[in-house]
Structure 1
Amino acid sequence: MANQLMYHEFMQIPPVTRAYVTSCVLTTLAVQLDIVTPYQLYFNPELIFKNFQIWRLVTNFCYFGPIGFSFLFNMLFTYRYCRFLEEGSFRGKTADFFFMLLFGGLMLILIGFFVNTIFLGNALTIMYVYVWGRRNPSIRMNFFGLMNFQAPYLPWVLCGFSLLLGGSTTVDLMGIAVGHVYYYLEDVFPKQQGGFRILKTPRFIEWLFESRDPTEDENILHEERPGGFDWDGREQ
């Protein structure tokens, strides 16, 4: 009974979010069990194009480090905002959501050729957090009870938090830049005079994803809701 309930809850997660988060968890478990090593997963253009290790184009987005607090925090963050987007502004548009992640991944890979970074999963997370924040400007957030801010500032708060902890902000800034490019091309430019939609989802991607009835899921996480997420675990 418990297994059936867990399976039911798992299948309630929208498909792209479910596939991506599951891939991240399984990749991390494979590293923990010594089935693979991070050296076989990281982004390395020379190994990709000279040794044809094409899988690195995907696996570098799926590894967030060894299991620990940082990994759990990243997975919670990835799951939460990926799901918010897929069940919010992309509700019933699974193919478009997948194309957004594909676009973001390709842009980050292109930047990765010129920036010394080996894992791009955090940058991809910041990218869709940026898009979510810009599409939900009225939602108020709380940073561990220390400060309040509007949702569009969340990526910048995370960037500042990384800086305070002595970490590099390169990955955060990459995600913000790519997120802004997507937001401008998809949400701003088409609405301007003479504008048009540039990022059209290819038909073969639409064919891969069957359209879903937006009314079929009753227990759904809505984006347009009052309040925000208090990072000590409470909704405000």
Structure 2
Amino acid sequence: MPPREIHRVGERGAADWYTSLPPITRGLLTCYFATGLGAYFGVLPLQYLYHSWPLIFKGLPQVWRLLTAYSFLGAPSLRWLFKLVWLVQYGGSYESAKFAHNTADGITCLGVGMMTGLVLDLLSWLCEAFIPPVFSRGFHASSIIFMFLYLWSKQNPEAQVSLFGFVNLNGKHLPFAFLLIDLLVGEDVWGDALGILMGHVYWFLTHAYPLATGRHVIRTPQWLSRACLQYGIGRVPVAAVDMVHPSDVRFRAFQGRGRRLAD
């Protein structure tokens, strides 16, 4: 399946285009755009957001850094803009196809990827006496984007993609082509490589392993599905309605409009 078409703002309006994005993609885009502008104008306290194991393990644990490490993509630049486009085009396409009827599954995917990234970061940090800490980074937002790029490529391996209008390649090669471009222009590619590993771990646990063994090791918690239903986040499968108690104020399956018949 080709990437989801990104309509021009002039065709639909910026607000319509923004609200049409799937919820996880829209949330990440908003976060990276806001933090990028905050860094550009010097109002974002990056010293309290970056990831550092010593700050988490020593003294008063600053555990919020485990989450905020994924909140900052960088200050506005051409590379920053390209990655936002990749997030919308490929991450949004993957989310729309894979999690169109259950946003809770998409949040689980994001959570598994983030935990995988933190585990690999921790192992890299613990082994820095023997090997360079290649995955130990202050921020991992770029890894999230490459995770979705990789998952899109696994879902659309034969899709034809034009790389900047010059080279045509199959979808399965796209994340590695972007990684190679970053390498050629002198950018740090270890964050990109970490994202590919994060995506592969999720794909293996939810596709390859269940296909080979018949067992599922990744399951979306029911409380998360209930929360998405309660707060109207994305679209929830019909089966999830059974999870809602009839006393819930949002439960309206058998309530009429209260009109009295005329005498």
Hey, what's the Cα distance between the residues in 1 that align with 2:208 and 2:96?
21
TM-score by length of 1: 0.81
Change (3 A) 1:147 1:6: closer
TM-score by length of 2: 0.74
Hey, what's the Cα distance between the residues in 2 that align with 1:100 and 1:116?
22
**Amino acid of the residue matched to residue 61 of structure 1?**
Y
Which of 235, 238, 241 is equivalent to 1:212? 235
Q: Mark the runs of 5 or more structure 2 residues left unpaired by the alignment.
A: 1-9, 125-134, 238-263
Q: Secondary structure at the residue paired with 1:141?
A: strand
Q: CA deviation at 1:5?
A: 5.1
**Amino acid of the residue matched to residue 177 of structure 2?**
V
Q: Secondary structure at the residue paired with 1:34?
A: coil
Farther-moved stretch of structure 1 (153-162 vs 7-16):
7-16
Write the mapping of 1:111-122 to structure 2, written as runs, cut at 5 A. 111-113=120-122, 114=124, 115-122=135-142
1:168 paired residue number: 188
Q: Deviations over 1:78-132 (max 9, x none)?
A: 1222211111122112110111011001110111121332111111111111111
Q: Deviations over 1:167-226 (max 9, x none)?
A: 23211221111211111111122122x322211111121112126279xxxxxxxxxxxx
Which of 88, 100, 110 is equivalent to 2:97? 88
1:220 paired residue number: none
Q: Secondary structure at the residue paired with 1:174?
A: helix
Aligned length: 211
Q: CA deviation at 1:30?
A: 2.1
1:196 paired residue number: 215
Which of 23, 33, 53 is equivalent to 1:15? 23
Q: Secondary structure at the residue paired with 1:52?
A: coil
2:107 paired residue number: 98
Which of 177, 181, 185 is equivalent to 2:201? 181
Hey, what's the Cα distance between the residues in 1 that align with 2:182 and 2:199?
18
Hey, what's the Cα distance between the residues in 2 that align with 1:5 and 1:153?
33
1:35 paired residue number: 43
Change (3 A) 1:159 1:5: closer
Which of 58, 64, 82 is equivalent to 1:55? 64
Q: CA deviation at 1:161?
A: 1.0
Hey, what's the Cα distance between the residues in 1 that align with 2:136 and 2:13?
44
Q: Secondary structure at the residue paired with 2:98?
A: coil
Percent of residue pairs identical: 27
Contact 2:175–2:196, Cα closer than 8 Å, also in 1: yes
Hey, what's the Cα distance between the residues in 1 that align with 2:48 and 2:218?
32
Change (3 A) 1:79 1:48: farther
Which of 37, 43, 53 is equivalent to 1:45? 53
Q: Deviations over 1:44-82 (max 9, x none)?
A: 112233333222222221212111212211111112222
Change (3 A) 1:5 1:157: closer
**Amino acid of the residue matched to residue 38 of structure 2?**
A
Contact 2:225–2:236, Cα closer than 8 Å, also in 1: no
Q: Mark the runs of 5 or more structure 1 residues left unpaired by the alignment.
A: 215-236
